[in-house]
A and B are shown apart, each in its own frame.
Chain A
Amino acid sequence: MAAMICPTCGIEMNHHAEKLVYPSAPHEASSADPVLGGMIEELHTCPGCGAGASRRAEPAAPARRQ
């Protein structure tokens, strides 16, 4: 995924954490990673001002057997 840019400083934010969150509504169930059982929320922090931001990670591509 593209780097997150701080809306205040205009610089690239640091991706420092990923939190597993579980579906809380039926419409979210299809977004859950089948291996992890939930969705990954990415946490980013700006090295300039310290502001935090988050976004839902893109689902992982299914693993393929060779």
Chain B
Amino acid sequence: MTEPGRALFVPVLLGTVRQGRMSLPVARLVVSELSRRPGIETELIDIARIPLRIDDAGQAIKDPTFSAQMSRADALVVVSPEYNHGYSGLLKHALDSCLEEYIHKAVGVVGVSAGPYGGTRGIQDLLPVLRELGLVAIFWDVNFSAVQSAFDETGALRDQTYLRRIDKFLKELVWMAWTLRHGREHIALE
């Protein structure tokens, strides 16, 4: 689905800073699949590269580049590994540095785990946070279970069935992004 005019901007937020993180090939794969779609612009935003202080939190530590990326975004994909049944603390730290930038924009979550549940517990914890930030969550998720086996040593995807799931996920996300853009720009609150 495309519409005339400005392309949608849908960045992919890599929500972990861990050494050897297996969410990186997942995030790259989602960026690649988004890039194939007409009318979509995307980029990978690595929270490890956002210069956020840890002696304060919230909008007081807003990074101008990340803020501008979120302001420009029509939707956001969050790639979120599950650590100890939750999402990464530094992902929360990064998300909390903005607020008005997110409001009435679509968000979808890609869960990643080494175990069998594909990050579902981390996603469940993350959803109420995303809602409070003003983002609108779609109901499709993508769940990468046993992620250490999902990619080969070159970073290529082994299990091609993930592509169909990502396609379904992105279709809903893009629909929601166009719909919310129309609402933000043309439908008044009252």
- A interface with B by C-beta (< 8 Å): 14-19, 21, 41, 43, 45-47, 49-52, 54
Contact = CB atoms under 8 A, between A and B. Distances in A.
Given A16-B188, A19-B103, 16 more contacts: A14-B184, A14-B185, A15-B188, A16-B187, A17-B189, A18-B189, A19-B134, A43-B104, A45-B184, A46-B185, A47-B185, A47-B186, A50-B74, A52-B100, A52-B103, A52-B184
A17 B103 contact: yes
B69 interface: no
A43 B183 contact: no
B64 to A, nearest CB: 15
A16 B99 contact: no
Interface residues of B, number: 18
Contacts of A47: 185-186
Interface of B: 6, 71, 74, 99-101, 103-104, 134, 181, 183-190
A49 B74 CA distance: 12
Interface of A is mostly: strand
Contacts of B183: 16
9 contacts: A16-B187, A16-B189, A17-B184, A18-B189, A45-B184, A45-B185, A47-B186, A51-B71, A52-B100
Contacts of A14: 184-188
A17 to B, nearest CB: 5
